[in-house]
Structures are given as C-alpha cells and as structure tokens.
Amino acid sequence: MSQKRRPSSARWLAEHESDPYVQEARRLGYRSRAVFKLKEIQDKDRLLKPGQVVVDLGSAPGGWSQLARPLLGPKGRLLALDILPMDPLPDVEFILGDFREESVLKQLEEAVGSQAVDLVLSDMAPNLSGVDAADQAGSIYLCELALEFARAHLKPKGGLLVKIFQGEGFEAYLKAVREAFESVTIRKPKASRARSSEVYLLARGYRA
C-alpha cells in the first residue's frame, strides 16, 4: 500500500519544483541547484584555476564536480567523495564511502598519493534528524574532518571552501580555520535559501 505524502514533504516538493535555481539547473544540464552556490563564489573569488588538484567532499549528485572539473583543464585533477553513489563524470575520480570512516579516509589519501592538494571543497552535511542540537553537532563534526584533511594535504597557500551552519560550535570552528589560514571570508550565496543558517567559509593562504 502506498503511503500518503506528508504535508511537509509535499510542501517541500512544491517549493523545490518552483525554485528558479532548480529550473535553471535543469535547463543548463547541471545535476543540482547547489552548483549555483559554487558558481557565485567562483565568479567572485576565482578559487578554481587550471592545473589545480582539488578534492570535492560530499560531492553527490555531482553539481560541484561538474562545474569545477572543466575549470581545472587537462593538467588538473579532481577527486570526489560521497556516502551516496554519484553517476560518473569525465575525468573525475570518485570514491563511494563515509568520510567519517577511517578506511574511507585511507582510500582517499591513497588516491591523492604524494600530490599536494590546492583546494579542498566541502559541501558535506549530515542526514538531518530534526533534532537541532544533534544536527548542528553532526554538521560541525564533518567541518572539523574537512579541516583536518585540509591540514594534512594542502600545499602551502592552499584553500578550503566549507559549508557550515551557524549555531553551536560555529565560532570555535571559525577561530580554528582563521588560525590555519591567512584569510577567511564568510560567503552566503544567493542560491542558499534565506531561511537557512547555511554559510560557506572560504579560507585561503594555508599556513603549512
């Protein structure tokens, strides 16, 4: 027997379908509306450049990788990772797994090898439980793992772009990022929903 759609999910679906970024993503052949968040930051800050080695954490369904990979050119390299499957993209090396697991981290580190990374992108977010305190803690933990990975693999002056939700733990995390990088900017792209506490920290000039 099919279940009736809950009013809240029906409302979300209706909002999603009428979202101009969703419609524009479909029109342009992008895999998700999230691509416009990265595109706005790229247009403003020029963080993706030819020849870079980039790691895309929380990559599925692949919108960010889709935008980023062509900008890196033939000499660039993009490694993507997500707990969810992602359809293949040309010249994108994808790892399926949970970034919180040691074995998955090891797999990613082996793929990176001895190459120093220019930029770590993280659009990771936990599966939401609806319990705000738990969801916030889960989000901050993923941000901490992204920073830890960046510290271990970025080349001097490298960069980190990480999604974070403002709330408990935000200020402490911001302080940690500021200690590791020469400059940190908070970006709230237009494609981020106004009611969401989501922002992106753009950190540049890694102090290796």
Distance, CA of 192 to CA of 39 (rounded, Å): 12
Nearest to residue 163, comparing CAs of 181, 182, 180, 177? 177
Catalytic hit among 4, 39, 163, 175 = 163
Binding residues for S-adenosyl-L-methionine: 62, 64, 82, 98, 123
What does the radius of gyration of the chain's CA atoms come to, in whole angstroms? 17
- Strands 77-82, 92-96: pairing is parallel
For residue 175, indicate whether it is catalytic.
Answer: no
Pairing status of strand 181-187 against strand 117-122: unpaired
* CA–CA dist 23, 17 (Å, integer): 7
Q: Which residues are annotated as a binding site?
A: 62, 64, 82, 98, 123
Contact predicate 206/118, CB 8 Å: no
CA distance 154 to 58: 18
Q: 61: cis peptide before it, omega within 30°?
A: yes
Residues with a known catalytic role: 163
